[in-house]
């Protein structure tokens, strides 16, 4: 049953670079949100369909990305249940590789994803967007649709530079972002035994213009095993350091987005 009074939050896991733990974060955080009692949707916007694979769903949307954007069919018609209670998936489709071209046909392309998501806000407390790595019209539309951008950053020079570039482009007005959209970075694949990782973490946390969350997701075999297990880490290895870190990360994110929310797992 839909609830038009839901105070829905749309959270996009995004980075200019690929291979930084974006999908792992989207899958694990969406699972934790649902496990905490929230009706949750994850939309896999990446044509590589990693989130869709991890949730054991076929990467296929009838009519493709163009059909969704034109709202020929409601996005609700394509949503699939996952194996996890209160957690649904809007799958990826290979046609999403042309989503930029489809968006470019609209007068206000940056506003289109927000319009597609608008009816779903009555159904879900949290909507996660697992985004492809790029700076593009898709990125602009994601920024416009989101209440928060969650940016995983490997504590190494090139990865951290990509995050700083994103913030510089935003402040310069070269990349649009809706007023009120928060941007949170967090360290991913962090190895605190490496001096370089520690140095980069300390440097980014010292930049006033950047919001870097306190929790870091460690380099861990369990995160890599998600592809074999096809499940969130917190399902098959709940006591692992990575699972504990994801719980702490979700608690920090939800506290920032909903200051009165109880801690995850309570």
Q: What is the pLDDT of residues 117-168, one digit of tens each?
A: 999 999 999 999 999 988 889 988 998 999 999 999 988 877 777 777 777 7
- What distance in Å separates the CA atoms of residue 51 and residue 37, rounded to the nearest whole number? 21
Residue 26 buriedness (CB in 10 A; 0-12 / 13-18 / 19+): buried
For tokens 């608690």, name the residue: 251
E runs forming strands in 33-175: 40-44, 80-81, 87-90, 126-130, 148-153
Which pLDDT value is given to residue 18? 86
What's CA 118's distance to the chain center, in Å?
17
CA distance 217 to 15: 16
From the CB of residue 113, how many other CB atoms can be counted at a distance below 10 Å?
Answer: 26
As a whole number of angstroms, the distance between CA 189 and CA 199 comes to 15
Domain ranges of the chain: 9-257
pLDDT above 80 for 246: yes
Give the pair of three-digit tokens for residue 153: 């950053």
pLDDT of residue 161: 76
What is the CB neighbour count within 10 angstroms for residue 105? 11
Class of domain 9-257: alpha beta
For residue 179, pLDDT beyond 90 = no
Q: Which tokens hold the place of 34? A: 């649902």
Are 126 and 41 spatial neighbours (Cβ–Cβ below 8 Å)? yes
Residue 207's pLDDT is: 83
Whole-model pTM: value is 0.90
* pLDDT at residue 263 is higher than 70: no
In contact, 153 and 204? CB cutoff 8 Å: yes
């Amino acid at each position: 049953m839909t609830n038009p009074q839901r105070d829905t939050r749309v959270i996009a896991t995004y980075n200019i670079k690929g291979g930084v733990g974006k999908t792992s974060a989207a899958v694990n955080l969406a699972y934790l949100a649902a496990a905490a009692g929230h009706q949750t949707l994850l939309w896999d916007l990446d044509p590589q369909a990693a989130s869709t694979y991890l949730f054991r769903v076929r990467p296929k949307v009838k009519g493709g990305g163009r059909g969704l954007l034109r709202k020929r069919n409601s996005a609700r018609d394509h949503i699939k249940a996952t194996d996890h209670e209160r957690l649904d998936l809007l799958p990826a489709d290979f046609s999403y590789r042309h989503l930029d071209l489809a968006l470019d046909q609209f007068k206000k392309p940056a506003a289109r994803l927000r319009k597609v998501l608008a009816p779903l806000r009555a159904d879900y407390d949290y909507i996660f967007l697992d985004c492809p790595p790029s700076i593009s019209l898709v990125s602009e539309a994601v920024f416009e649709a989101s209440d928060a951008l969650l940016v995983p950053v490997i504590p190494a020079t090139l990865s951290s530079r990509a995050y700083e570039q994103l913030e510089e482009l935003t402040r310069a007005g070269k990349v649009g972002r809706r007023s009120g959209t928060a941007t949170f970075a967090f360290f991913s694949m962090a190895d605190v035994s490496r001096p370089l990782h520690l140095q980069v973490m300390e440097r980014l946390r010292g930049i006033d213009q950047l919001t870097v969350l306190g929790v870091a997701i460690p380099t861990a075999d369990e995160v890599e095993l998600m592809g074999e297990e096809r499940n969130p880490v917190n399902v098959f290895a709940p006591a692992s350091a990575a699972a504990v870190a994801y719980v702490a990360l979700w608690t920090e994110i939800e506290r920032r987005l909903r200051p009165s929310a109880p801690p995850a797992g309570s």
